[in-house]
Chains A and B, each alone.
Chain A
Amino acid sequence: MNNLRHAMRQFTQHPGLSLCIVLMLALGIGATTAIFAVFYQVLVQPLPTPEPDRLVNIVRAGPADARGREAFSYPMFRDLEKGQTVFDGIAAFSELQMNLVHRGRAITVSGIFASGHYFKALGLTPVLGRLIDPRDEPRIDESPVIVLSHAFWQNRLGGDPEIVGETLTINGEVFTIIGVAPPGFAGTQLGVRSEIFVPFTMIWRLNPNQPRGMAENRNMIWVRMFARLAPGISAAEATVGINTQFRRILNEFELPQPTAPADQQQQFERQAVELVNGAHGQGNIVGASQSLRILLGVTLLVLLIVCVNIANLLLARGVELAVRESMGASRGRLLAQLLTETVLPALLGGLLSLPVAILTLGAIAPMLPARLAGGLALQIGTTAMAFAAGLTLATTLLFGLLPAWRMARMSPALAMKGQAAHSQGGHGAMRLRVALATAQIAFAMILLALAGLFSRSLTNIARLDLGIGIDGMASFSIAPRLSGYETGETEALYDRIAQAFIAYPGVTAVTSAMLPVITGNAMEVGLGIDGYENADQPITANFNTIGPGFFSTLAIPLRAGREFNAADMAQPSGKLIVNERFVREYGLGDKAIGRRLRFGPAGGDGWEIVGVVADAAYSSVKESAPPQIFLPRGALPMFSGTMTFYIRTGVDPDALPPVIPRIVAGVDPELPVSNVITLRRQAQENIFIDRLVTTLSVGFAGLAALLTAIGLYGVLTCNVAQRTRELGLRLALGARPETLQKLVLRQVAAMTAIGIGLGLAVAIGLGRVAESLLFGIAGQTPFIFTAAAALLSIVIFGAAWRPARRASRIAPMEALRYE
């Protein structure tokens, strides 16, 4: 109780110091907790299911090919599902954005096609009604039932307890609600919050782009699976069991012809499945793992700097502790007192860290793509809170125990003479404080160097010529086929929408494309070029279907020929446009116009190149443009179900997104609009990992430099105070004030040199690790490291200037009377 009262007294009698400690802790713990919250959700958090460690994802063994390792054919899934004995259910799933109309309101929702054992494998029970089970999959297209996620039921349907049995319309089809999933469950895919679940067999009815043949075709690889290990079965046993069955199915249905090439035979022989940990669900965010590890490391370094700072502040209490010991306090009592005193600021710092963490997450969220931000639900959950509490405890022990450890090494006998400053123990403590401050410099150097690398990388990205005029543009997507439009009706709808936007004030041009640009989406196709000389080289290109005026609207320069006009849309006439990379890659030179391409086997008239356009960021900001072909919008009816529109405006493009749904509703009120975004924002979202890592690393490095400056200032101030007598004596003996200033600055220079040197050595190593996240810059760029060292030196000498000046202004007589 006495300790507590004394701790309170200490806290209130030194408000500046206390506030400084609390703030430093709040910043350090808050920043680390925020990054941990993201890290946990993306890389650690298990699915909210019973025994998530019994869940496994079923993937193909061996390296991923173009189709990835996760996908299997639908017949293979059904065959595996039927005969297996090692799992407590195999589940298949597929994701689709669906247009849902309920009580007259149309919205786009994230839906999951779930096989009959989906919920059983997850081990979930409903909060209302029942979940999808095998009886909901009698045959393809039958059983139009739907399970709602708990969040969807609560947020969109008001948690209506009578909802089971009601109907709603999905993609123009009427479905009956059979149940509500348990709270917290929103599908198994990372970064996607699925809102509704429908039987897997309904996929062909709801997705017009899903060819019927995919239900029987064993060469069409698109179904993803996970399973729950049966009780008493280990993952190794299940792997053996499922592979036996997999091999039997392959031998029965997919045996290559005896005349097949040897490599095809070998490939067939090698096929196997693997079971990988499914506790976290499926999917990942490209580049997120390494970025988050680096950011978590960065924030932990900042926190370490905070701890060192606070420990340094507390180390100044060595004499007081020695005096207490001389009065009979045992080391245990002193330890208890120190910990009690550190608990109070730590508790306050820990509590304040939560709003700091929330603010940090608030700063992170706008940097994420909207869908990902929603899918991740960035918030400080119980785990993050527990992490913050753990960090608070750890930091309390770290900065509280260091002075205690120091005390144990200091002779209280020397304190009796008030000699702690001058005694061996005092010098030892000062040496420790100097060493800690030097370590802080090293930590700050690491963070500044990394921040420099990331900043330069982002600058390099920003300097890229996208080849697209992204300013003054907004885009949105619609999926009319999901709202009941037939293939023949979509073209007219697209025209009506374009006209509605053209009529809107400020809009100067409108166009459309099947695949949205700068979103990372791409589709590849194999081609033949008439008269192509290098017949052995496979010809591939990304393709997109586009509306009239696509290139002029997106300000992509036309290099030769022409772009598509309205006539090309109305009656596809076998015309296409290629990009410069395509021309270069396949040696078409200046004779590209008029050349003919073919999809698949030769025959027919093929497709004539009518235009060549400049390379641009069709798919991604950072990747160089691949060979690309563009077809008129109506040329491939099977791909006409979804369309992204681009609106160029002469006014502020940010004013467009709010009015876009209204304008589309003016054309068809039951047609949901999704992905409404300005093109500049889209470009930013495409490089969100780079922006996130750079912004946060620069912020944390700045914080680290500031904390280091504060720490160094404290150490130097204390050092100068302890050396007052010596400095005064030097002055009395004839030293000039500048000499004393230099004396202090020389010490700072030595600390800086050592700190920067050590930090540099670590930064070089980390630069190599971070290289995969950098763009157009090596992980060991001397210029960046030099600039970071120079910046840190300026900060350090800025912090050292005042204590150094104080040293030069000591009055000799006063100093010699010191103590």
Chain B
Amino acid sequence: MAMVRVQDVGKAYPYKGGRTWVLRQIGFEVQEGEFVTIMGPSGSGKSTLLGILGMLDGEFDGQYWFDGEPVHDLKPGQRNRLHKHNVGFVFQQFHLLDDLTVYENLDIPLSYRDVPRKERQARVAEILDRFQIVGKKDLFPAQLSGGQQQQVAVARAVIAEPRVVLADEPTGSLHWGQGRQIMELMRGLNEQGTTIIQVTHDERVAGFSRRVIELADGWLSADREKIHVNETQARSEAS
């Protein structure tokens, strides 16, 4: 069974008495352990689709099953619970909470999941170590570089051990040197079993994934498996 299955998904916003469609009849499946890139020009509906897949947006047409659960039929509370236990997010703007230290930013998702304090401490310590940011734990986001902030953001996205990480232009605010490190991090997570769905318009970033879904004007225009050559090409470009 596919982890993610969408069928005829559409999304429209009211506009001047009518509706403007940003997504139309989208359908695809994502298996557990995949690394998928959603690409498309600006305004093609990438981020909107990611919001629906991340269960942050429940107002859409069509059907969406996550691990067999019909997300389209869930009430907001049920959807929130499903999201909470399965999804981690990485944003282009990092969106670390400015008033919290690195440690507290990592602690927050666990606290929202009612993880006991002792266990939270252990998991935060483990992730700080894994991402090699132990020395930064007491710093505030403003005291970190962009790359370090995104590193923390990725750590925050995975600390609750989600089954899927959704990343929206994860390197969009970084120069490529920093961006490549983040993508290596993401690939490492994927290799450890985490499903990753990312949105980007950067071919180099897309090169880290194995499959690309392309959107154009809200329609799904292509869904292709990337061949190993592309990955090799991406690696050579990265180096």
Which A residues are within 8 Å of any B CB, using their own CB? Answer: 2, 6, 9-10, 13, 319-320, 323-331, 333, 411-419, 424, 819
Contact = CB atoms under 8 A, between A and B. Distances in A.
Nearest to B46: A417
B112 A413 contact: no
B112 A323 contact: no
Nearest to A411: B57
B156 interface: yes
Contact of B99 (A6, A326, A330, A411): A6
Contacts of B235: none
Contacts of A329: 108, 112
Contact of B56 (A320, A413, A418): A413
Contacts of B56: 325-326, 411-413, 416
Contacts of B47: 413-414, 416-417, 419
Contacts of B25: none
Given A323-B95, A323-B97, A325-B56, A414 B51 contact: yes
Contacts of A414: 47, 51
Contacts of A326: 54, 56, 89, 91, 95
A819 B92 CA distance: 10
A327 B156 contact: yes
A324 B99 contact: no
Q: Which 6 A-B pairs have the closest CB atoms?
A: A413-B51, A418-B93, A328-B84, A328-B112, A413-B56, A413-B57
B210 interface: no
B108 A413 contact: no
A133 B94 CA distance: 82
A327 B109 contact: yes
A415 B94 CA distance: 11
B99 A10 contact: yes
Interface in B90-112: 91-93, 95, 97-100, 108-109, 111-112
A323 B141 CA distance: 15
A415 B92 CA distance: 10
Given A413-B47, A416-B56, A324 B108 contact: yes
13 contacts: A2-B111, A6-B99, A324-B108, A327-B89, A327-B112, A412-B57, A413-B52, A413-B54, A416-B47, A416-B54, A416-B56, A416-B168, A419-B47
Most chain B beta-carbon contacts within 10 A, residue among A320, A326, A413, A418: A413
Interface string B111-132: 1110000000000000000000
A819 B93 CA distance: 8
Contacts of A331: 76, 80
A416 B89 contact: yes
Nearest to B105: A327
A417 B97 contact: no
Given A413-B51, A417-B91, A328 B113 contact: yes
B122 to A, nearest CB: 17
Contacts of B108: 324, 327, 329
Contacts, number: 83
Nearest to B47: A417
A331 B76 CA distance: 10
A542 B84 CA distance: 85
Contacts of A10: 99
Q: For the complex, would chain A's binding face be called helix, strand, loop or mixed by DSSP majority?
A: helix
Contacts of B48: 413
Given A333-B112, A413-B51, A418 B92 contact: yes
Contacts of A330: 77, 80, 84, 112
B160 interface: yes
B137 interface: no
Contacts of B91: 323, 326, 416-418
B65 to A, nearest CB: 19
Contact of B13 (A320, A323, A424): A424
Contacts of B100: 6, 9
B214 to A, nearest CB: 19
Given A6-B100, A326-B56, A418 B109 contact: no
Contacts of A325: 56
Contacts of A412: 51, 56-57
A624 B95 CA distance: 72
A417 B13 contact: no
A800 B5 CA distance: 52
Contacts of B169: 417
A324 B100 CA distance: 12
B136 interface: no
Contacts of A418: 91-93, 95
B50 interface: yes
B83 interface: yes
Given A326-B95, A329-B108, A413-B52, 5 more contacts: A323-B91, A326-B54, A412-B57, A414-B47, A424-B13
B129 to A, nearest CB: 21
B95 A415 contact: yes
Contacts of A9: 99-100
A324 B89 CA distance: 11
Given A325-B56, A416-B168, A319 B109 contact: no
B83 A328 contact: yes
B99 A13 contact: yes
Nearest to B97: A320
Contacts of A413: 47-48, 50-52, 54, 56-57
Contacts of A319: 95
Contacts of B95: 319, 323, 326, 415-416, 418
Nearest to B15: A424
A2 to B, nearest CB: 6
Interface string B62-95: 0000000000000011001001100001011101
Contacts of B80: 328, 330-331
A412 B54 CA distance: 10
Nearest to A417: B47
Interface in B190-217: none
A325 B56 CA distance: 8
A417 B97 CA distance: 15
Contacts of A424: 13
Contacts of B111: 2
Nearest to A424: B13
Nearest to B109: A327
Nearest to A332: B77
Contacts of A327: 89, 108-109, 112, 156
A412 B113 CA distance: 18
B85 to A, nearest CB: 8
A403 B68 CA distance: 35
Nearest to B83: A328
A281 B86 CA distance: 68
A390 B200 CA distance: 51
Nearest to A13: B99
A819 B80 CA distance: 29
Contacts of A819: 93
Nearest to B52: A413
A607 B83 CA distance: 101
A320 B94 CA distance: 11
Contacts of B51: 411-414, 416
A419 B42 CA distance: 13
Interface in B25-66: 47-48, 50-52, 54, 56-57
- The listed residue with most B CB atoms (<10 A of its CB), out of A324, A325, A417, is A417
A417 B99 contact: no
A563 B99 CA distance: 82
A411 B54 CA distance: 12
B72 to A, nearest CB: 15
From A319, A326, A415, name the one whose CB has the most chain B CB atoms within 10 angstroms.
A326
A10 B100 CA distance: 9
A622 to B, nearest CB: 58
Contacts of B83: 328
A331 B89 CA distance: 18
A415 B97 CA distance: 13
B236 to A, nearest CB: 30
A418 B156 CA distance: 17
Contacts of B89: 326-327, 416
